[in-house]
């Protein structure tokens, strides 16, 4: 069996590749999804509200926070409890949820973190 030495081109390239990969991994900063959310949208108290079925002019599940209603695009079924108090962090989206007879509708949000209070 041949012994590989550091002068072997294949061995040297593998070592160099492993070193560069390790350097890359170490240099990457881990960023939390919360780092990109504005302060006023982090860890806020809110209510989950059911506003009736959209099939019969309701608006479905809404989030009530800071005297405004928002339509969540990714509300987990675990939190689909009417009048549930939650603590959440969210991103405000540009889209509007037009439902029922409400014009304009509700601004949509993407929930980043949510927990029951």
Q: Spell out the per-residue pLDDT of the chain, length 117, in tens.
A: 556 555 556 676 777 777 767 666 565 555 566 677 888 889 999 999 999 999 999 999 999 999 999 999 999 999 999 999 999 999 999 999 999 888 889 999 999 999 999
Q: How far apart are the first and last CA of the chain?
A: 65
Per-residue pLDDT at 30:
55
Per-residue pLDDT at 38:
84
The pTM for the full model equals: 0.70
DSSP state of 98: -
Domain 34-116 has CATH 3.40.50: no
Helix, strand, coil percentages for the chain (3-state, nearest 5)? 25, 35, 35
Domain residue ranges in the chain: 34-116
Helix (H) or strand (E) holding 18: helix 9-27
């Amino acid at each position: 069996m041949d012994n590989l030495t550091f002068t072997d081109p294949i061995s040297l390239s593998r070592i160099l590749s492993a070193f560069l990969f390790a350097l890359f991994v170490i240099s990457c900063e881990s960023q939390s999804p919360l780092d990109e959310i504005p302060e006023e949208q982090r860890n806020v108290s809110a209510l989950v509200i059911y506003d009736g079925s959209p099939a019969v002019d309701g608006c479905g599940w809404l989030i009530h926070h800071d005297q405004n209603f928002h339509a969540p695009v990714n509300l987990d079924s675990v939190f689909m409890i009417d009048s549930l108090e939650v603590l959440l962090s969210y991103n405000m989206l540009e889209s509007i949820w037009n439902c029922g007879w409400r014009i304009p509708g509700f601004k949509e949000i993407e929930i980043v973190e949510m927990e029951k209070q």
